[in-house]
Structure 1
Amino acid sequence: MSGSSVLYSVVDSWVGSLTINLLCYSTVFIPGYFLIQYFKKSKYIERAGLGTLSKLITSCVYGQGYDKLVTTDLPPAPRTPAPERSMSSKCLQLIFCFLGLQASYLTWGVLQEKIMTKEYQSSEGNIGHFRDSQFLVFVNRILAFLLAATYLGFTRQPRHTAPIYKYSYCSFSNIMSSWCQYEALKYVLAKASKIIPTMIMGKIVSEKKYEYFEYVTAVLISFGMTMFLLGSTESKGSYMSFDAFTSNWQGELFSQHKMSSVQMMCGVNLFSCLFTTTSLMQQGGFSTSFNFMLTYPAFFWDSLILSICSATGQLFIYHTISLFGPVVFIIIMTIRQGLAILLSCLIYSHPVSLMGVLGIFMVFMAIFLRVYCSHRLKQLQQRRAGGDTTKV
C-alpha cells in the first residue's frame, strides 16, 4: 500500500475525522479562551460602557448579573421560591416528559440509522451513502437554535444571568456525543447505559450525593443494557462520558442561574452552530453535503424530519433536566435506548436473542425498583419530619 493510500485511509477513518474536527474546533476554542482571560484580567467590567458591543462582551464574559458587582453594595434581592408541586402534578409532568422524549427520539433514532447505514438511490438509478456525521449535527442544531431564538424574541423570559461562554462546554460535549453516535452507526446499532457515568459526573461537577439503592439500580440497569446489546447486535459501542458531562453541566447551570429551558436550548445550540459551521467551512463539508442532497432528494426530507425531531426532543431534554435533574433524564433515555433497539430490530430485521430479552426485562425491573425505593425513602423522611414537629 502506498504512502498516500495509508494517509487517505487514516484521514477517512473515524480517528482521522475526529482529529481534524478537534483541530477545527480549536480555532474557535483557543482564541475564545484567550479573549475571555484578557477581559477578566484587564477588569473590563469596570470600564464597560453602555454601547451594544460593551453589553455583548459583558454578557458573554460576566453574565447579566454584573451590575451588582459595579453599581451597588446592597445584597441581591432574594428569589421567590417556586411553589411546591403536588405528587400528582409531578407524575403528570414526568409522564409528559417521558412521552415527549420517547416520541421525538424514537423517530429520530429510526431516521438516524436509515441515513447513516442505508443506501440512497437517485432518479438516474445511482446509489449513494451519506458519510458526513458533522453535517447532520449542524442541521439538527441550526433548526433548534432558530426555533429557540424566535421563541425568545416573542415571549417574556426570566432575566438571563449566566455568562454566555459557559454554554460552550456542554455544547462541545453535546456535539461530540452526537458525532460519536452518528459515527457508531456506520459500524454499530446501539450503545450501553449511561447512568453510572452520569452519577459519577454528578459527584464531580455538582458534588451530589446518592442513596445506596440508586447505585444498586444503576448497576442493574447497566448490566441489563449490556446483556441486551450483546444479545441484539453483532457489534457494540459506547460513548458515555460526553453525554454524562452534558446533562450534569446543564443541570448545574439550571441550578445556579435559573434560566428557562428555551434559554438553555438557545445558548447551547448557538455554540453548536458556531463550532460545526467553522469546521464544515474549513473542511468543505457544506458543498459535499448539499451536492448529495441535490442528487438524492429523499435525503433532504429525511434530514428535515430528523432536525424537527431533534429540535422537539431538545425542548423535552432541557425541560426534563430543569424539573427532575440529569439522573432521571438518563433513566428515561435508557428506556428510550431499549425501545429504539426493539424498534430497529422490527424495522430493519436485526436479531434479538433470549439474553437480549432477559437484559431488557432486568432494565425495567431495576427502574421499577428505583421508583419504589425512592417513594419509600420520601415516606420515611416525611414521617421523621412529622415526629420531630410533634416533639417540639
Structure 2
Amino acid sequence: MSKLSNTSDNQSNKKLIICFFGIFFAYFLFGIIQEWITRTEYGELKERFTFTYCLVFFQCIANSIFSKLVLSYEKTKNDGSNKWLYPVCALTYLGAMLASNEALQHVSYPTQVLGKSVKPVPVMIFGVLIAHKRYHKAKYLAVLMIVLGIVLFMYKDKKTKPLDDPLPNHPFALIGFGELLLIVSLAMDGLTGAIQDRINGSHNRTNPHTMMYLMNIWSCFYLFFTIILTGEIFEFALFMQKFPNVVVKLILLSILGCIGQHFIFTTITNFGPLKCSIITTTRKFFTILGSVIIFSNPMSSRQWLGSVLVFIGLALDSKYGKEIKQKN
C-alpha cells in the first residue's frame, strides 16, 4: 500500500509541476502579446485597442472550441457535476475580471497587481464558508506567509506627501473607487473558487475540459449581450477593417489562452481552486524575481524578507497542502 501511495503522490507531484510551468509559460507569453495588442499605436492617428469585452469574448469562444474538441476526442462520459452552478460561476468569474480591469482606470497597474496578490486569502475563506473545506492549520499559515511575502516584495514606498497637501492623511483616504473595485474583484475571485469547489465535489470530480467548456460557453453568453448592448462589437469590427494585422495577434493570444486555461482547469479539478490561485499568484512573484536576478538589480531588505516568507510558505504548502476533510 505504501508503494502505491508513494507512486500516486509522485505522479500527483509531477502533474502539479507540469501545470505550474504550463501556466507560467503560457501566461507569460500571453501577457507579452496582450500588452503588444493594447499598447501599440495603430495608424497615423495612433489609435489604441480598447475593446476589452470583445477581447475576452473571442478568447472565451476559442476556449470553448478547444475544450469541446478535446471532449469530443476523449469521448468523456457525463461526470455528474452540478451543471446549474456553471452559469453562476461564469458570472462571478467575469465579475472579478471586469472589476479588476475597471480598477485600472482609477489605480496604477502596480497597485492592481499588489491588490490581486491577496487572491488566495478570499479563495480560502469562501472555500471554508461556502464549499465547507477544511485544511491543516499549517495550510492557513502557509497561505498567509505567501501572500504577506509577495506583498512585501512588490510593495513600493510612496513619496512623502508635501506638508501643504490639502488631501487628508488618514488611512481611509487611501481607499478610493479603484480600491473598492479591487475588493469587489477579490470577493468575486473567492466566490468563483468556492463554487468551483462545489462543482468539483469529492464524489463527482469533474473533467477539467468539461469545466473549461461550460465556464467559457456561459461567459460567451453573457459577453455576447454585453458587446451588443454597449455597441462595442460595431466599433471593434470597424477597427479590424482598418487594421487587419491585429487579427494575427488575436489568434496567437487565443491559442496561448487555450493552453493556459487547459493547465488552470487541470489544476482546479485535480488540486482545487486554492492551489491554482497560489500558483497564479506566485507566478508573478517568480517572474519579477527572475528579472531581478537576471539583470542583477539590487534587492532591498524588505524584498529579501518577502522572498524568504514566500519560499517558507511554499514549503509549508507542499507539505500540508492537502484538504483534511469535506463536511457533509
TM-score tier after normalising by the smaller chain length? 0.7 to 0.9
Aligned to 1:371: 318
Report the equivalent of 1:121. Answer: 42
Give, in whole Å, the separation in 2 of the partners of 1:344 and 1:284: 40
CA apart distance, 1:273: 0.3
Deviation track 1:274-321 (CA, whole Å, cap 9, x = no partner) reads 000011011111111122233334533332222222221111111111
- Does residue 89 in structure 1 map to residue 35 in structure 2? no
**C-alpha displacement of 1:217:** 1.7
Among candidates 5, 23, 26, match of residue 101 of structure 1: 23
CA distance in 1, matches of 2:128, 2:259: 29
CA distance in 2 between partners of 1:340 and 1:132 (Å)? 27
Which residue of structure 1 lines up, in the alignment, with residue 246 of structure 2? 299
Matched, 1:177 2:126: no
Shift of 1:233: 9.8
Whether 1:241 aligns to 2:200 is no
1:149 corresponding residue in structure 2: 68
SS of the residue corresponding to residue 121 of structure 1 reads: coil
Determine the C-alpha separation between the residues in 2 that align with 1:301 and 1:161: 39
User: What's the CA shift string for 1:49-74, capped at 9, x where partnerless?
Assistant: xxxxxxxxxxxxxxxxxxxxxxxxxx
Task: Give the letter aligned to residue 142 of structure 1.
Answer: I
**What amino acid is aligned across from residue 363 of structure 1 in structure 2?**
V
Q: In structure 2, what is the equivalent of residue 288 of structure 1?
A: 235
Aligned length: 290
Residues 360 and 105 of structure 1, relative CA distance in 2, 3 Å threshold: farther
SS in structure 1 at match of 2:133: coil
Q: State whether residues 206 and 269 of structure 2, in contact with CA within 8 Å, keep that contact through their aligned partners in structure 1.
A: no
For structure 2, the 5+ residue unaligned runs are 160-173
Q: Distance in 2 between matches of 1:345 and 1:281?
A: 44
Q: Distance in 2 between matches of 1:232 and 1:106?
A: 26
In structure 1, the gaps of 5 or more residues are 1-82, 379-392
* 1:188 is the counterpart of 2:109: yes
Asked if residue 210 in structure 1 is aligned to residue 129 in structure 2, the reply is: no
**In the TM superposition, what whole-angstrom CA distance separates every residue of 1:221-243 from its partner, at most 9, and x where no partner exists?**
11112223313999996432222
Pair 1:164 & 2:83 matched = yes
Q: How does 1:308-323 map to 2 (within 5 A)?
A: 308-323=255-270
Amino acid at match of 2:125: I
Of 127, 138, 151 in structure 1, the residue corresponding to residue 57 of structure 2 is 138
SS at match of 1:309: helix
Query: Sequence identity of aligned pairs in percent?
Result: 24
* Cα distance in 1, alignment partners of residues 126 and 10 from structure 2: 30
Selected match of 2:224 from 247, 259, 277: 277
Q: How far off its partner does 1:374 sit?
A: 5.2
Label 1:155 to 1:220 Cα distance change in 2 as closer, same or farther (>3 A).
closer
What is the root-mean-square deviation of aligned Cα atoms in Å?
A: 3.2
Larger radius of gyration: 1
Equivalent in the alignment of 2:34: 112
Partner of 2:122: 197
Give the letter for the 2:270 counterpart: L
